[in-house]
């Protein structure tokens, strides 16, 4: 008998946002839920949905009453509170509920970019040089320009725009102040690595495997920095959206392919080698790999990078979702 599956997700609250693009990003979770629901149903699973709303204690009470053999975890955190993604995963564990994807510890690590860098460095994986700066500490800046200024603990390219790459002290100060004000904490400043950009999704438990590698290809005007901005993901009318695309499999030689895969598998172990994650890379001027993001439980919608890579590996979307279910059942 097929296990009963409950899909949990954050009920979007688009009214929290002012712009149409931000509202669209908030609502995107519903497309992913619908696609996963359809895939599971077509594969023969009995499926129910459970949207979660804040506060956290209310979400916890909803989960306590859940009658399911497996939870398909699509919860991304309540709007404006990305740290709640890890809390809900921890609730599931405490309640003894088997769920898909990475554990709460991995989700918490992936969100905290400074901790991620420290853990990667501890196992010999290189990341761009960085500082954590607030408006009152900008005078302590000691990196080399150009730099990219990011929110300290956000995902989905939130807070990343054309202005994020800075070439002088004035622009640096402006971006650090803006992000600190918008996100309520210090900003992460990294030396900008402007080489080719790749990402790879890893699936697994005991023997994780990497899907085919994608390259993010930019055809932007030369004055625009080659970065994956918020508008590149969500604003179909923007130049970034029109001139940013993923190519999978990436056109790279065997040596680089193996370097990316082995580094990705090593990084995946930091997340407990459970579920699925995406690791993002860039090459520096010396062709050295730099990990720029570690993304546990990335977007698995049909048009997302993970699904594109699964397709390149010969999997239908339904088979990809089935694989995620089977990995969770193996852990049980």
Read off the pLDDT of residues 94-127 as tens digits, 9 standing for 90 and up: 999 999 999 999 999 999 999 999 999 999 999 9
Q: Does 40 map to a domain?
A: yes
Torsion angle of the four alpha carbons 303, 307, 313, 318, in this order, in degrees rounded to the nearest 10: -110
Same domain, 158 and 281: no
Q: What tokens appear for 242 in the block? A: 């029109």
- Report the C-alpha gap between 82 and 102 in whole angstroms: 15
Q: Does 164 map to a domain?
A: yes
Residue that the structure tokens 């720029």 belong to: 292
Q: How confident is the model at residue 140 (pLDDT cuts 50, 70, 90)?
A: very high
Same domain, 19 and 79: yes
Q: How confident is the model at residue 332 (pLDDT cuts 50, 70, 90)?
A: low
Is the pLDDT confidence value at 232 over 70?
A: yes
- Report the C-alpha gap between 207 and 221 in whole angstroms: 42
pLDDT at 7: 98
Question: How many domains are contained in the chain?
Answer: 3
Q: What is the CATH number of the domain that holds 169?
A: 3.30.1490
Same domain, 11 and 78: yes
Q: Does 234 map to a domain?
A: no
Same domain, 180 and 256: no
Same domain, 209 and 295: yes
Same domain, 119 and 266: yes
**CA 176 → CA 77, 231, 307, distances in Å?**
24, 20, 34
Strands 197-204 and 214-218: antiparallel
Stretch 229-248: mean pLDDT, rounded?
93
Same domain, 114 and 151: no
Same domain, 10 and 81: yes
Q: Does 282 map to a domain?
A: yes
Is the pLDDT confidence value at 213 over 90?
A: yes
Distant-in-sequence, close-in-space partners of 141: CB < 8 Å, separation ≥ 6: 131, 133, 169, 172, 189
- Going by the DSSP 8-state scheme, the letter that residue 286 receives in this structure is T
Same domain, 201 and 310: yes
Question: Alpha helix (H) ranges present in 95-143?
Answer: 104-111, 113-122
Q: What is the pLDDT of residues 149-163, one digit of tens each?
A: 999 888 778 889 999
Same domain, 199 and 322: yes
Distant-in-sequence, close-in-space partners of 150: CB < 8 Å, separation ≥ 6: 113, 159, 160, 164, 179, 187, 188, 189, 190
Residue pair 214/246 in contact by the 8 Å Cβ criterion: yes
Same domain, 26 and 91: yes
Is the pLDDT confidence value at 298 over 70?
A: yes
Which stretch, 72-86, 172-186, 259-273, 303-317, has highest mean pLDDT? 303-317
Stretch 196-207: mean pLDDT, rounded?
93
Strands 5-10 and 47-52: parallel
State the distance between the two ends of the chain, measured CA to CA, in whole angstroms.
Answer: 16
Q: Does 324 map to a domain?
A: yes
Q: What is the pLDDT of residues 1-52, one digit of tens each?
A: 789 999 999 998 877 666 777 788 788 899 999 999 999 999 999 999 999 9
SS3 79: coil
Same domain, 62 and 209: no
- Residue 117, domain extent: 109-126+194-213+248-331
């Amino acid at each position: 008998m097929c296990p009963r599956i409950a899909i949990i997700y954050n009920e979007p609250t688009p009214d929290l946002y002012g712009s149409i693009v931000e509202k669209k990003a908030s609502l995107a979770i519903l497309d992913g839920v619908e696609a996963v629901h359809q895939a599971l149903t077509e594969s023969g699973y009995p499926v129910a949905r459970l949207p979660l709303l804040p506060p956290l204690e209310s979400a916890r009470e909803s989960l306590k009453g859940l009658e399911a053999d497996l939870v398909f975890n699509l919860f991304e955190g309540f709007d404006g509170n990305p740290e709640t993604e890890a809390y809900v995963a921890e609730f599931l564990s405490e309640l003894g509920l088997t769920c898909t994807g990475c554990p709460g510890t991995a989700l918490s690590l992936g969100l905290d970019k400074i901790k991620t860098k420290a853990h990667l460095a501890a196992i010999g994986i290189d990341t761009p040089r960085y500082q954590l700066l607030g408006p009152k500490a900008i005078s302590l800046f000691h990196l080399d320009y150009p730099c990219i200024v990011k929110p300290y603990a956000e995902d989905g390219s939130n807070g990343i725009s054309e202005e994020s790459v800075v070439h002088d002290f004035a622009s640096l100060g402006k971006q650090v102040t803006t992000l600190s004000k918008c996100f309520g904490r210090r900003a992460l400043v990294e030396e900008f690595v402007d080489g080719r950009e790749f990402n790879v999704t890893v699936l697994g438990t005991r023997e994780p495997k990497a899907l085919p590698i994608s390259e993010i290809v930019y055809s932007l005007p030369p004055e625009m920095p080659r970065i994956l901005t918020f508008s590149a993901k969500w604003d179909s009318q923007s130049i970034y959206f029109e001139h940013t695309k993923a190519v999978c499999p990436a056109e790279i030689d065997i040596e680089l392919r193996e370097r990316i895969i082995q580094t990705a598998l090593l990084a995946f172990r930091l997340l407990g080698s459970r579920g699925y994650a995406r690791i993002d890379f860039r090459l520096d001027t010396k062709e050295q790999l730099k990990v720029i993001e570690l993304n546990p439980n990335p977007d698995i919608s049909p048009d997302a990078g993970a699904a594109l890579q699964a397709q390149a590996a010969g999997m239908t979307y339904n088979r990809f979702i089935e694989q995620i279910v089977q990995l969770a059942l193996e852990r049980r």
